[in-house]
């Protein structure tokens, strides 16, 4: 045991000596060209992404035998009351969570929360990845991206 401690102390001192003499050395990073390609694809994907960090209102969560049907029923009620808002039923085991809205700021979400709170006291504002605002009916549809489309778009730049 004592021997191992002495060896570790010696290695530590040796490392300090070696690192101390080369504290101002420059480092050159050599990377595979494929890394740049992956980085460029990531940038293109992010520019096409229609989600960003924002806020939603978690209205209720259900669990048990009828949880899915209860969540769907509440979703329909919320759509009837707030037709301009998107309502989501998300399964996060073991719960079916009902969420409403896609808000940029907590303050935007708070305005809707004040309308929901009198009927459903359990509603709270949560951070979530939200969808970009819908500009037209076309924006409500999920786009299909194909690799050929990405290549043709990137060659236009």
Summarize pLDDT for 91-102 with one digit per residue, the tens.
988 999 999 999
Could you tell me which residues come within 8 angstroms of residue 98 by beta carbon, excluding any fewer than 6 positions away?
A: 58, 59, 60, 61, 62, 71, 74, 75, 78, 87, 88, 89
pLDDT at 117: 92
The distance of Cα 30 from the centroid of its chain, to the nearest Å, equals 31
53 with 127: CB under 8 angstroms? yes
d(CA 12, CA 148): 54
State the Cα torsion 97-82-76-90 to the nearest 10°: -20
User: What pLDDT does residue 36 have?
Assistant: 78
Within 22-90, residue ranges assigned H as helices are: 33-48, 67-81
pLDDT < 50 regions, the chain: 146-147, 150
Alpha carbon distance 116, 146 (integer Å): 40
**Predicted pLDDT at 126:** 93
- Which of 9, 17, 106 lies closest to 55 in space, CA to CA? 106
Q: pTM for this structure?
A: 0.56
Integer Cα distance of 79 and 98 in angstroms: 12
What pLDDT sits at residue 51?
77
């Amino acid at each position: 045991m004592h021997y191992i401690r002495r060896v570790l102390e010696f290695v530590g001192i040796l490392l300090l000596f070696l690192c101390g003499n080369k504290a101002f050395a420059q480092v050159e990073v050599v990377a595979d060209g494929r890394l740049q390609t992956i980085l460029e694809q990531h940038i293109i994907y992010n520019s096409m992404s229609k989600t960003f960090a924002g806020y939603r209102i978690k209205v209720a969560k259900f669990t048990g035998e009828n949880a899915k049907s209860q969540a769907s029923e509440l979703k329909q009620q919320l759509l009837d009351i707030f037709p301009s808002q998107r309502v989501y039923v998300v399964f996060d085991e073991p719960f079916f969570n009902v969420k409403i809205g896609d808000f940029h700021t907590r303050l935007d979400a708070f305005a809707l929360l004040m309308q929901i709170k009198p009927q459903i006291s359990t509603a709270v504002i949560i951070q979530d990845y939200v969808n970009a605002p819908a500009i037209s009916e076309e924006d409500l549809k999920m786009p299909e991206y194909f690799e050929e489309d990405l290549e043709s778009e990137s060659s236009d730049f």
